[in-house]
Amino acid sequence: DGGITQSPKYLFRKEGQNVTLSCEQNLNHDAMYWYRQDPGQGLRLIYYSQIVNDFQKGDIAEGYSVSREKKESFPLTVTSAQKNPTAFYLCASSMRPRQPQHFGDGTRLSIL
Amino acid sequence: QQPVQSPQAVILREGEDAVINCSSSKALYSVHWYRQKHGEAPVFLMILLKGGEQKGHEKISASFNEKKQQSSLYLTASQLSYSGTYFCGTEDAGGTSYGKLTFGQGTILTVHP
């Protein structure tokens, strides 16, 4: 079955530590996205990539980094510079930019 | 700037209708609608691309008034399965935001038996 796989489902970060959230898709989609969702709020775009080896900052990119070396993979690193990382992180993909986005099941990140 | 959704929450009985609105301060290229159930990933409902366009998905339909920079989602004869949080995502016109969606804060819809 085609879909988007995010791992891990739950992640705990210590102070000063970088952590990486995985996002893999087997839908052959060109575009991929990372969103952050805080309780009772909408989705805020962190980074997006329209094609392999290219990505753009979203609205809240500070303290995060990404790479897009393969079409199917778009990992997100939450760096120690992100002072308030506790949130639900959602990865999405679409066939092309501007097409419907399909979401993974999310990773819930908490601070230890 | 994120689009504004109204109302923030709505409670219905099965079979009742509801309208959820999404307004932007910017000219829009498109509006996407998604539904998210508690603890789950958002699920795509529909995209509206042109002014005045109306689309349907089962008993859920939507309109997009390009001139007013607004979209409305219509849920008719609601079912228990319609419960969840509805989000609109907008893409600005003008080309600088190609493929980039900005989401509203969400509308919580609860359907009771």
Give percent of chain A with pLDDT exceeding 70.
99
Contact A31/B at CB under 8 A: yes
Cβ separation of B103 and A56 shorter than 8 Å?
Answer: no
The mean per-residue pLDDT over the stretch A40-50 comes to: 93
All residues of chain A having their beta carbon less than 8 Å from the beta carbon of residue B90 are none
Confidence band, pLDDT 50/70/90 cuts, at residue A40: confident
Cβ separation of A98 and B105 shorter than 8 Å?
Answer: no
Specify the DSSP class assigned to residue B82: G
The mean per-residue pLDDT over the stretch A94-110 comes to: 94
All residues of chain B having their beta carbon less than 8 Å from the beta carbon of residue A50 are 98-99
CB A55 within 8 A of CB A45: no
Contact B41/A at CB under 8 A: yes
Q: Measured between alpha carbons, how far is A66 from A2 in angstroms, rounded to an integer? A: 23
Contact A42/B at CB under 8 A: yes
Confidence band, pLDDT 50/70/90 cuts, at residue A91: very high
pLDDT (0 to 100) of residue B98: 83
Contact B40/A at CB under 8 A: yes
Q: For all residues of chain B together, what is the average pLDDT?
A: 91
Q: pLDDT tens digit string along B56-109?
A: 667 899 999 888 899 999 999 999 999 999 999 999 987 677 889 999 999 999
User: Does residue B80 sit in helix, strand or coil?
Assistant: helix
More confident residue, B57 or A85: A85
Cβ separation of B100 and A44 shorter than 8 Å?
Answer: no
The mean per-residue pLDDT over the stretch A5-18 comes to: 92
Q: Measured between alpha carbons, how far is A91 from A94 in angstroms, rounded to an integer? A: 11
DSSP assignment string, B57-86? ETTEEEEEETTTTEEEEEE-S--GGG-EEE
pLDDT (0 to 100) of residue B54: 63
Q: Which residue of B has its CA nearest to A50?
A: B99
In the predicted structure, residue A45 carries a pLDDT above the cut 60: yes
Q: Measured between alpha carbons, how far is B113 from B103 in angstroms, rounded to an integer? A: 30
Question: Nearest Cβ partner of A97 from B44, B99, B103?
Answer: B99
